[in-house]
């Protein structure tokens, strides 16, 4: 990532090189329920705390000059969780959007949602649409929320779109390239993540950004998401900056 000399970075730790920061960070926010259960609390308390952690990380990325943050909020598989938890999450997403929309506008955050959004509750879809419209011209940081998202489903969806164009005679199969394929993904317009962080000790992608993470550096931490603070993010960035990215080359 190249940081403009005129860009003011707020409280960037001295041991981080601003020229070596990732442009795009993706996070799998894992461990909310376990964090709550370890304290004898209902799982939903972990999700509430997790929202605060995400808000803090978004602010930190903005302060430190990281241009894009993408968070895995709700997967296509998460519908299999207890109905009470799913209903709580849908209501939580809606409530947070209502409460934070003005702040997102004020802070220059452009928010975007990706996934099979048409299957979400209609009231939540309306809040998502309002938030994206209200922030569409903001440029301080691009914040993408993967909601009802699955990497395999995303790839199938892109294939279906391209197949329809071929069937209609609008596209020659030989003209399908990686670049064209990527334009039909939910994340069209986003750079591939430079760094993927997963919390809570699990070490797998869980159907997240399967196409986009082909050359993404991955960082796994045993810290549960609600405890993932600026210092934990600092350590992840130090680890990232110590790596040499080759993209398949020598």
* Integer Cα distance of 186 and 209 in angstroms: 10
- At 96, list the tokens: 């947070």
Residue bearing tokens 């440029």: 139
Q: What are phi and psi of 149, to 5 degrees?
A: -115, 140
Catalytic site residue from 11, 15, 17, 30: 30
By DSSP bridging, strand 68-75 and strand 109-114 are unpaired
In what helix (H) or strand (E) does residue 28 lie, and over which residues does it extend?
strand 24-28
Q: How many CA within 13 A on the CB side of residue 34? A: 12
Active site residue 30: yes
Catalytic site residue from 11, 32, 52, 78: 78
Active site residue 32: no
> What are the distances in angstroms from CA 150 to CA 110, 136, 157, 201, 224?
22, 24, 10, 21, 22
* Among 117, 114, 111, CA closest to 137: 111
- At 80, list the tokens: 């299999």
Task: Spell out the alpha helix ranges (H) of 107-205.
Answer: 122-135, 151-167, 178-182
Catalytic residues: 30, 78
């Amino acid at each position: 990532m190249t940081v403009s000399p005129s860009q003011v970075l707020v409280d960037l730790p001295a041991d981080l090189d601003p020229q070596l920061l990732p442009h795009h960070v993706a996070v799998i926010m894992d461990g909310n329920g376990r964090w709550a259960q370890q304290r004898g609390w209902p799982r939903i308390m972990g999700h509430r705390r997790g929202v605060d952690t995400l808000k803090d990380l978004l602010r930190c990325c903005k302060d430190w000059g990281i241009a894009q943050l993408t968070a895995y909020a709700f997967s296509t598989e998460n519908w299999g969780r207890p109905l009470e938890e799913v209903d709580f999450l849908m209501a939580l997403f809606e409530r947070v959007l209502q409460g934070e929309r003005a702040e997102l506008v004020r802070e220059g955050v452009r928010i975007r949602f990706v996934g099979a959004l048409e299957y979400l509750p209609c009231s939540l879809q309306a809040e998502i649409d309002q938030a994206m419209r209200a922030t569409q011209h903001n440029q301080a940081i691009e914040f993408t929320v993967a909601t009802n998202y699955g990497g395999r489903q995303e790839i199938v969806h892109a294939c279906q779109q391209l197949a329809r164009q071929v069937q209609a005679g609008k596209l020659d199969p030989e003209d399908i390239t990686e670049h064209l394929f990527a334009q039909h993904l939910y994340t069209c317009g986003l750079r591939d993540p430079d760094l993927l962080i997963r919390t809570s000790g699990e070490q797998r992608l869980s159907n997240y950004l399967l196409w986009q993470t082909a050359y993404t550096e991955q960082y796994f931490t045993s810290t549960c998401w609600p405890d993932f603070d600026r210092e934990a993010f600092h350590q992840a960035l130090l680890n990232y900056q110590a790596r040499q990215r080759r993209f398949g080359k020598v």
